[in-house]
Structure 1
Amino acid sequence: MSPPTRRPDGKETRGHNRITHHAIRQTVEAVTARAFRVGKDNVTAALEDDAGKLGVSVSIKLRLEPLLEPRNSSGTIFERAQQARAEITSRGTELAGLEIGRVDIRLTGGKQEVPKERRVT
């Protein structure tokens, strides 16, 4: 058991905190979804040891933007992945106190969004 600590109100507390594997994976998936601006259901994550740090492997289903229309995003997909890698590392540390090592990013999907036709009556 850990030694007692003092709360701001002066009372002593004992114990420790545990973050489950599932909670860490869910946090990494949410951070990744935010970084790539996709829904959380388009992201899967796997966690492993990386020489004492947390190794993260994420897969993201992306939709392709139409090739003949103006682009909404800035930079190439590789630049976006590099920015997302930095965000996953920093937000993982900020939110869960994790020391994240390697971050592998796999971009999957590539399905082009089909515009919905509207009927006027």
Structure 2
Amino acid sequence: MSGATSATMVRVAGRHARGHNRITPNAIRQTVEAVTARAFRVGRVNVTASLEDDAGKLGVSVSVKLTLAPLMEPRNGTDTVFELAQQARTEIVSRGAELTGLEIGRVDIRLTGGNHEQPKERRVA
């Protein structure tokens, strides 16, 4: 994926200056990862993203590592994990577009699980 570019006119010292703003694919990927982490309420290190062209839009694939503990505990609401993923997808599209200025098309979400975390006092070194 090539870097996104947009021409801009900036007013500098009473005159207009032409220039370009460049957002690297790596910066876009990290932004998508941060937005995804926020949507799923997980740490940024638990999210990886890849980007591709989706018919002129930004195609996004994210993988989110969820611990099993939150998945196994009783839920306060009635949302299933699939409904939560759909809500996160909506947030990724809207917030991602707001921050990057790019139109986001397809968003694929893969939820992965880790081991059930033991309380600290029960962990064996």
TM bucket, shorter chain = 0.7 to 0.9
Give the stretch that moved more between structures: 4-13 or 51-60.
4-13
Residue number among 6, 9, 16 corresponding to 1:5 in the alignment: 9
User: CA separation in 2, counterparts of 1:102 and 1:60?
Assistant: 16
Length-normalised TM-score, structure 2: 0.81
Q: 1:37 to 1:54 in 2, by over 3 A?
A: same
Aligned to 2:116: 112
After TM superposition, the structure 1 = structure 2 runs for residues 6-45 of structure 1, keeping only pairs within 5 Å, are 7=11, 10-45=14-49
Gaps of 5+ in 2: 1-5
Greater C-alpha Rg: 1
Length-normalised TM-score, structure 1: 0.84
User: CA separation in 1, counterparts of 2:71 and 2:64?
Assistant: 19
Once the two structures are TM-superposed, the CA of residue 82 in structure 1 deviates from its matched residue by 0.2
Q: Is the 8 A contact 1:48 1:56 kept in 2?
A: yes
Identity across matched positions, percent: 73
Aligned residues: 116
Once the two structures are TM-superposed, the CA of residue 70 in structure 1 deviates from its matched residue by 3.6
Gaps of 5+ in 1: none
Aligned to 2:3: none
Aligned to 1:100: 104
